[in-house]
Every structure is written in C-alpha cells, then in structure tokens.
C-alpha cells in the first residue's frame, strides 16, 4: 500500500527516506503533512528548544522588581514579576 519516498530536508537540503512504515504511522495518527526535516535536523531542532521567544522587560506593578515577560507590555496594564503573579494566582 505505501512505498518508500525520498524527500528533501527544508533545513539542510539533504535527501532522506520517508519509509512505508513511517507513512503508515503518520496515517494512523491522522497526520496529513509529510515530514519536512531529516532526522538529524529534527533532533537538532528538538535539542535547541525550537523557536526562542522575544522577552520584554518591565517593572512589576506590585513590588517594582524587574519582570521579564513574553509580550510587549501595554500602557496602563499592570505587569507582574513571577513571584507576584504567583501570589495573585493563589488569591483568586
């Protein structure tokens, strides 16, 4: 039913084989897209943690300490450091 396919890695350009067994596994899991990276590039990407988020620095609205957040703070909206955010979450 399935036959091995040769694909090209979108990161390094190397050819790799998408085996019949892998295709069957993908179909069983409901995956519709073929893999785009070879095993080496997938492993490298996993080890690197993927895409790094840009972090923004703001002053905590509760204690004034430096807070690093993964979003650009808006004027008039409070930003909390990790400790104060956790305290507020416990209170709710």
Q: Are residues 63 and 85 in the same domain?
A: yes
Backbone angles phi, psi at 19, to 5 degrees: -70, 160
> Domain range spanning residue 42?
5-48
Q: What is the pLDDT of residue 88?
A: 87
Q: Are residues 11 and 42 in the same domain?
A: yes
How crowded is residue 49: how many other Cβ atoms within 10 Å of its Cβ?
7
Q: Are residues 67 and 36 in the same domain?
A: no
Helix H or strand E encompassing 1: none
DSSP bridge partners of 69: 56
Q: What is the pLDDT of residue 12?
A: 96
Residues of the chain under the 50 pLDDT cut: none
Q: What is the pLDDT of residue 3?
A: 96
Q: What is the pLDDT of residue 50?
A: 60
CA distance 52 to 83: 23
Please count the helices (runs of H) and the strands (runs of E) in the chain. Answer: 3, 4
């Amino acid at each position: 039913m399935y036959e091995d396919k040769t694909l090209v890695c979108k990161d390094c350009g190397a050819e790799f084989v998408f085996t019949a067994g892998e295709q069957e596994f993908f179909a069983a899991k409901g995956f519709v897209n073929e893999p785009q990276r070879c095993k080496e590039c997938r492993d490298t990407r996993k080890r690197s943690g993927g895409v790094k988020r840009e972090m923004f620095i703001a002053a905590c609205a509760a204690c004034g300490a430096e807070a690093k957040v993964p979003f650009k703070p808006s004027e008039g909206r409070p930003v909390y450091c990790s400790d104060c955010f956790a305290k507020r979450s416990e209170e709710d």
